[in-house]
Structure 1
Amino acid sequence: MAAANESQGLKIAVAAFVTLTVILAVTSYFLYSSYSRTEGLLQSETEKASKSQRAASEATNQYDEFRKYVGTRGEEFDAAKAEVDGHFKKVNDRLAGIANSINAALTKAQGAGAQGTELEEAKQKIQQLVASYGNEPNKNYISALDRLLELLESTALVDSELTVNYLALRNSLESSTSVSKQQIDVQSKAATDSKTDLQAEHEKHDQERRTLLGKVDQLTTELDQTKTELANLAAQNRQQTEENARKGELLTSILREQRAQLDLRETVLDRPDGHLTYVDFDRNEVQLDVNRRQGARPQMKMTIFDANSSGVPTEKPKGIIELTQVGDQHSIARIIKTYNPIEPLRIGDIVYSPAWSPDDPMRFALIGKIDMNRDGKDDRDDLKKMIEDAGGTVDYDLPPPNAGRESGKLTARVSWYVVDERTPLRDVYTKESETTLAQQAGYDKRRGEMIKEARQNGSRPIEIGRLLSYLGYDMNAPIVGRAEGINSRALKRLTEKKTLNDAQKAAEAAKREELRSDDAKQPEPEPEAAQPK
């Protein structure tokens, strides 16, 4: 059993050894075959790497050689490419500048007179080359050099053409300069001759000028003396003229004042305004030939003068009447006052109003103070009312200070200007100050100017005393005051129309018939036609 077990173990050991040997042999075979294949691949890859290294080294050498040939300083491809692109850009810019310079030179040459179709063709060719160089889609180094060479050829052609033109121009200029020099020599000789003649003329005229200057100095001296004499005579004449003017103004003012005084005292005769046609002393009434068509109206006051007086107005009126009824043919007036009882009013006496005339009212101007009753107070409002009641109008009024304002306008239509030169019957005291003195001075100046203007307009002066006598003003008449009480019955009895009985009516009719018969026997004098004063 034990030997069997050993034999069995040996068999197992031999079998295991054989199995391990086979496994080792197979493994060694596979390992050897893999090693052989790997070694072949290694050798093949080594040869490829060697070839690639040689190719890379050769490419690097060729890149360095090409870079040196091109002239780039960058070793890397991107830097070299950027440098080449920048160089191309600079070339483009310089090429554009060269083209512009060539065009400017050609234009300047043609403007200076250069001729020939070659220049124009070269210019166009250069423009075409520059345009083709800039517009070429696949631009490279060789094409760029080709375009630059063509541009260089065109530029050389332009230079040669310009040189030829410059030479021709130079020859032409030299010939022109020679001709011009000859002409300049001729003109220079003529100018020299003219200058010589001109200097001779200058000397001649200078001599004559000195002679004339001497005469001018002499005449200037005489003229200054004459001017001095004329100035002295003019001064004497001016003094004499001023003296004569002062004397004339003084004499004129004296004459004006004397004339004003004479005008105030002089009686200026006027035309009658009407005549009395009937006098009734019982009724204290008169009838006159003043009617409504002539402008008469009730309450107008008129002055009566004697029919035999030399003219109207005079210093001796007979009486004052006031119109009560104004008709179409005649008017009725009541007798207000009779100055002389032994000279009553008679038929044919003259009717006169200083403020009224037929068909045209008289116009007045009040200049200065108006003191009707000589009490030192201004009464111009009362005088205006009296003038208006008499049928006149006041066109201009110049009151003194503190008596109103200037009103109206002084025109040539004013017939009379009223002044009051009388002194008051009592002293009047006013407070004086700088303001009142200045106002008084301005008033005096204005009064003188207005009196002068009135005289120049032809207006006649009238003294207020004479005007008041013509208007029927009585200085001794009592001043009517304010009524405190009125007897109505007595006033009505006095103012109502009187009724006449039959006997009185018959006597009145007989009296009127008798007057009419007397008037028929003795024709009434025809009154003068009413005319404006």
Structure 2
Amino acid sequence: MAAPGNESKGLQIAVAILATLVVLMGVVSYFLYSSYAETSEKLAAAESQKNEQTQVANRFRQNFEEVRRIAGFTDDDLEKLKDARNQRASELTSRIQSIREQVDAVVTKVQEDARNAQGGEYGRLPEEIEDLKRKARELSDKIESEPEIDQGSQMNRLTDLLLNNAQLMAQLARDNINLRRNLSTIDAVNQAGVREIQAALERRSEELVNEQRDADERMRSLRESLTQAQRENTDRARTIDELNTQMREKERKAEEQRLANLETISNLRDELSKTETVLDSPDGTVIYVNVARNEVVLDITRAMGARPQMTMSIFDKRSPGLPTDRPKATVKLVRVGEQNSVATIQRIVDPTDPINPGDLVYSPVWSPNAPVLFALLGKMDLNRDGVDDRDDVRRLIERSGGRVVYDLPPPNARMPESGQLNARVDWYIIDDQEPLRTFAKRVIPTPEDQAFLERQTEIIKEARLYGIRPMPLRRLATYLNYRSNEVDQGVVQYKNEATIESILYPEGRPVPPPGSQPGEDQDDAMSNDEPVAVPGRGFGGRG
């Protein structure tokens, strides 16, 4: 294939020849017209020369056609030939650029593969490949930068580029072979390691299979043991349930028997409480009787919890027990000391049976050990006038040292149930007496009355289960010396001894005659606010 520059020169020569021929033809025509003779003479020579020129032109024409055919152009026009040639040069440049990019891509891919296969340290290309790559880039740059060079030079550079690319490919192939050889070595080493790991893995898998088999055997044995244990546990649980059922049945029967016995005991205790003639142990004794002052000295002290205004009953010291409804007298504490107490005589039941030193002192609402707790159930009619007197009953109990912890008032009292019944309660008070005044109007029980009676029955049953003793209201009133026609004297807050002396003895206290009773000195001693110790129990007393 001829170079583009040669084709251009051939065309220029052909054009020059054509122009020369035209000029020659013009000159010949001129000479023909100017001198036909000379022309005629020279005609043969001209025709001969023309034939020669025509042959030369034909040869040039043939050469031009051959060059155009070899170059691959189809147009006869020179400009079109130039355009076609430029277009081919552009296409050649583009293809060279594409080839360079492909070569760079191949080299880069080889470099990346080497880097990935052998690591960063072995991922660099050999210096020969780098030189060939750089030379190919330089050749392609020269071809692109000189598009007007002749066809021969262009073909030489293309040949150099092809040779360089061939050398580059050969070097890449050699490097690829070395890489493959290295990779084969590495792969062999890796395969050996993999085989070793696989062998270890197979050994471990076999060990795990054996361990799993042993674990399954142990699990099967444990499962059988567990099943046997569960079966035995179920049998034991069934036996325990049967025993628990039998025990609960026995406990139920025992509880029913116990409740029946308690109810029987409570009923017997209630019946006995209504008719018994003996109460608890006494709370103290009488150690001195001052008849002149109507006072007695008791061995009850402040440390025992006694306080003024407490009412107590006196029983005969010779009685085998404390008669419940027949006390000898009732007294009220007026002064409580550290060693003894002074009480005023409120009432003597039988004047022929006076109080003597050594008589027993008892209070149903007070105890030296702990306060006596009471429960009020139902109506509390002290004076039997048909009106509830539970506030007075509460005051009498609290004034005598007791305490009301539970109260169940009747519906007409318009008071709610208060407190709580428990085993610490000592007595529950009931009023079993009818009022002295009756009304002609018939009272029809209401649902509230019926509910109250049911509640009272329930509380009485609960009190019996707790072992709480009943006490009729009339007996409590007797113990506390309650009489509806008497006025409560209250507590003496202050006493002016000088004024009393001036009223009782306006001319002065008389001098006692010789041989007077020594009890008069004791009367003076007992007139002090603080109780005094009495030298002898029988001194100044009766019996």
TM-score, normalization: structure 2?
Answer: 0.53
Residues 456-508 of structure 1: per-residue CA shift (max 9 Å, x gap): xxxx635244444322235xx34979xxxxxxxxxxxxxx8962466985579
Q: CA deviation at 1:310?
A: 3.2
Q: Report whether the alignment pairs 1:431 with 2:446.
A: yes
Q: Which amino acid aligns with 2:395?
A: K
Residues 205-249 of structure 1: per-residue CA shift (max 9 Å, x gap): 99xxxxx9xxx9xx98xx98x999878866654553333122111
Q: Report whether the alignment pairs 1:107 with 2:112.
A: no
Tell me what 2:504 maps to: 499
- Return closer, same or farther for 1:349/1:110 CA change in 2, 3 Å cut-off: same
Distance 1:182 1:331 in 2: 111
- The secondary structure found in structure 1 opposite 2:427 is strand
Q: Which amino acid aligns with 2:481?
A: G
Q: Report whether the alignment pairs 1:278 with 2:281.
A: no
- The secondary structure found in structure 2 opposite 1:342 is coil
Residues 35-86 of structure 1: per-residue CA shift (max 9 Å, x gap): xxxxxxxxxxxxxxxxxxxxxx8676434312223228xxxxxxxxxx96x9
- Return closer, same or farther for 1:525/1:101 CA change in 2, 3 Å cut-off: farther
Q: Which amino acid aligns with 1:67?
A: Q
Distance 1:323 1:517 in 2: 19
Tell me what 1:12 maps to: none
Residues 159-181 of structure 1: per-residue CA shift (max 9 Å, x gap): 43223332454477679979999
Give the conservation status (yes or no) of the 8 Å contact 1:278–1:288: no
- Of the three residues 293, 306, 309, the one matched with 2:316 is 306
Distance 1:238 1:417 in 2: 37
- Return closer, same or farther for 1:446/1:330 CA change in 2, 3 Å cut-off: closer
Give the conservation status (yes or no) of the 8 Å contact 1:399–1:406: yes
Tell me what 1:255 maps to: 261
- Of the three residues 359, 382, 405, the one matched with 1:349 is 359
Give the conservation status (yes or no) of the 8 Å contact 2:279–2:321: no
Q: Which amino acid aligns with 2:408?
A: P
- Return closer, same or farther for 1:183/1:525 CA change in 2, 3 Å cut-off: same
Unaligned runs of 5+ in 1: 1-56, 73-82, 207-211, 482-495, 527-533
Q: Which amino acid aligns with 1:418?
A: W
Q: Report whether the alignment pairs 1:513 with 2:518.
A: yes
Distance 2:186 2:337 in 1: 126
Distance 1:129 1:306 in 2: 149
Give the 5 Å matches for 1:379-398: 379-394=389-404, 396-398=405-407
Give the conservation status (yes or no) of the 8 Å contact 2:111–2:123: no
Q: Which amino acid aligns with 1:461?
A: R
- Return closer, same or farther for 1:422/1:247 CA change in 2, 3 Å cut-off: farther
- Return closer, same or farther for 1:231/1:329 CA change in 2, 3 Å cut-off: closer
Q: CA deviation at 1:300?
A: 2.2
- Return closer, same or farther for 1:125/1:371 CA change in 2, 3 Å cut-off: farther
Q: Which amino acid aligns with 1:472?
A: N
Distance 2:191 2:327 in 1: 125
Identity, % of aligned pairs? 23
- Of the three residues 427, 433, 438, the one matched with 1:418 is 427
Give the conservation status (yes or no) of the 8 Å contact 1:375–1:425: no
- Return closer, same or farther for 1:234/1:441 CA change in 2, 3 Å cut-off: farther
- The secondary structure found in structure 2 opposite 1:523 is coil
Distance 1:447 1:129 in 2: 126
**Aligned residue-pair number:** 403
Distance 1:338 1:168 in 2: 137
- The secondary structure found in structure 1 opposite 2:330 is strand
- Of the three residues 337, 362, 367, the one matched with 2:371 is 362
- Of the three residues 245, 249, 257, the one matched with 2:251 is 245
Tell me what 1:66 maps to: 86
Tell me what 2:174 maps to: 160
Q: Which amino acid aligns with 2:246?
A: Q
- The secondary structure found in structure 2 opposite 1:463 is strand
Q: CA deviation at 1:381?
A: 2.5
Give the conservation status (yes or no) of the 8 Å contact 2:372–2:401: no
* Higher RCO (C-alpha 8 Å, min separation 6): 2
Distance 1:139 1:479 in 2: 150
- The secondary structure found in structure 2 opposite 1:337 is strand
Give the conservation status (yes or no) of the 8 Å contact 2:284–2:360: yes
